[in-house]
Structure 1
Amino acid sequence: MIVSTVNVNGIRAAVKHRSADNLGLLPWLASTTADVVCLQETRADDAQLATALAPALADGWQLVSAEPHLKGRSGVAVLSRHPIAASRSLESDEFGAHGRYLEVDTAGATVASVYVQTGEAETDRQREKERFMAELATRMATLTNRDAVVCGDWNIAHTENDIKNWKGNIKKSGFLPSERQWLTELLASGWVDVVRELHPDQPGPYAWWSWRGRAFDNDAGWRIDYQLATRGLAARAVSARVERAEAYALRWSDHAPVTVEYRSREMIG
């Protein structure tokens, strides 16, 4: 099973961007080897998303989505080349309808797409982010007894190796000590950061770069797009890569797809 995750920064923009040059999300979906693709920040309701992805759906991709509760905000989805047996949103009075979490059973595993909101230190936005993080951890605790992977934009850089300018962001949301500790505790509870496991002790590989300045050209990025897998599934991960565009002008999102290949149990045996 090959799983990719990408924050599309608006599904309609990702589909239309440089379409005349045969670039953008749809050509990428047509060429990817992924079996399952998790999307975040679709910024579209279910009907708009299905319309934007119509060519991919005609090619056989199966789609499940969770639309945002506010226009132009959040929204997550999962595309699979395999039948989707079941799907579930976050059971939460506050966040259940926000379009920030969606999990599906497909290709012999549970695959979830998550979009953790951007916070702002010492504000209500940060407190909302922390409440969502708590509810997400509660949900993930119920998945550790199965093959599961939670993919998405977590908006938290875990260590100094996960952000180029870590010294300038110590007091900012996304690199706060409390956020980093939350990720540490999540990993201690039975989850594995698969990309870091396969790329230990090195900066990056980053998957988000600001549109501004020369962040992309200088690889001054953040590694905030994770695939956290349960230990049994993580043990079967054989490769992980960031599909970074060859040039700034060829980007169709400010994030790049993060792709991991997991061997089947039969291949291990």
Structure 2
Amino acid sequence: MKLVSWNVNGLRACVNKGFNDYFKETGADIFCIQETKLQEGQISLELDEEYNQYWNHALKKGYSGTAVFTKIKPLSVRYGLEEDHEEEGRVITLEFDTFYLVNVYTPNARRDLSRLDFRLEWEDRFRSYLLDLDTRKPVIICGDLNVAHQEIDLKNPKSNRNNSGFTLEERDKMTQLLDAGFIDSFRHFSPDTTDAYTWWSYMPKVRERNVGWRIDYFLVSARLASSLIDAGIDCEVMGSDHCPVVLNITE
């Protein structure tokens, strides 16, 4: 089974930059996107009929939003954490026969860290939600988690200490999640790989020089470790300031 996750940073713009070509090329069984930045009815994707589409739009126009396109029809779908259709459209959970899939766009703490407290409280709720799911079935989490976990996960760790996405508090929340029984699938296969990033600033030549951060992930319940085939980063794919991440797993 092939799963793909991509923060498209505006789906309408990404469609104009090759999204459909990449989508068809991957032939993914499940394709998740974050930061759709659109409302219901603002786009009609030309996807194969075999894909079921699930959308969680933010109430605020042009902001956040997630979607999942899946060949495998889920048993159930849930939007949000505590309640359906939370205002920022950040989470979609699909239940399948043998696992849950959680597509997430984690809140950003903002450059001035004005949303850090909210972010940390959200992380605690999210972890509790995942652990509750994990008592019933293994969980696969994918999306933009808005944190570079370790120094190896960004180009310039020293100059970014205490910056949004690399504060000690945010990194500790990721550590707590992994310690609670989840695996970072990319690091599972590539524990020492450097210069492997999924996001680059739009500043001139930053992506060209690969000055990036790895903030997009596939995390899986630890008991799925033996089912993992490989995990990768399609860093050559353009169309967004993020690139897609990929997970292959036995069905």
Aligned partner letter, 1:81:
K
1:115 pairs with 89, 105, 111, which one? 105
TM-score with structure 2 setting the length:
0.93
Partner residue of 1:133?
Answer: 123
Q: Is the 8 A contact 2:78 2:84 kept in 1?
A: no
What are the ranges of 5 or more consecutive residues in structure 1 without an aligned counterpart?
18-23, 265-269
Alpha-carbon distance in structure 2 between the residues aligned to 1:215 and 1:94: 38
Q: Is the 8 A contact 1:38 1:113 kept in 2?
A: yes
Question: Aligned pairs, how many?
Answer: 250
Partner residue of 2:44?
Answer: 52
Q: Give, in angstroms, the shift of residue 233 of structure 1.
A: 2.0
Name the % identity.
30
Instruction: Assess, with a 3 A threshold, how the Cα gap between structure 1 residues 186 and 204 changes in structure 2: closer, same or farther.
Output: farther
Q: Is the 8 A contact 2:130 2:139 kept in 1?
A: no
1:155 pairs with 146, 156, 160, which one? 146
Q: Is the 8 A contact 2:39 2:62 kept in 1?
A: no
Q: Give, in angstroms, the shift of residue 175 of structure 1.
A: 0.5
Instruction: Assess, with a 3 A threshold, how the Cα gap between structure 1 residues 222 and 160 changes in structure 2: closer, same or farther.
Output: same
Instruction: Assess, with a 3 A threshold, how the Cα gap between structure 1 residues 159 and 85 changes in structure 2: closer, same or farther.
Output: same
Aligned partner letter, 2:139:
A
1:73 aligns with 2:63: yes
Alpha-carbon distance in structure 2 between the residues aligned to 1:147 and 1:95: 24
Alpha-carbon distance in structure 2 between the residues aligned to 1:211 and 1:161: 21
Q: Is the 8 A contact 1:159 1:180 kept in 2?
A: yes
What secondary structure does 2:187 align onto? helix
Q: Is the 8 A contact 1:121 1:171 kept in 2?
A: no
What secondary structure does 2:213 align onto? coil
Alpha-carbon distance in structure 2 between the residues aligned to 1:131 and 1:74: 19
Partner residue of 1:262?
Answer: 249
Alpha-carbon distance in structure 1 between the residues aligned to 2:150 and 2:27: 30
TM-score with structure 1 setting the length:
0.87
Alpha-carbon distance in structure 1 between the residues aligned to 2:82 and 2:177: 19
The farther-off stretch of 132-141 and 183-192 is 132-141
Q: Is the 8 A contact 1:205 1:242 kept in 2?
A: yes
The farther-off stretch of 207-216 and 164-173 is 207-216
1:7 aligns with 2:7: yes
Deviations 1:199-224 (A, max 9, x none): 11222421111121222111111000
Q: Is the 8 A contact 2:4 2:30 kept in 1?
A: yes
Moved over 6 A (4+): none
Alignment map for 1:111-260 (pairs within 5 Å)? 111-120=101-110, 123-145=113-135, 146-245=137-236, 251-260=238-247
What are the ranges of 5 or more consecutive residues in structure 2 without an aligned counterpart?
none
Higher helix share: 1
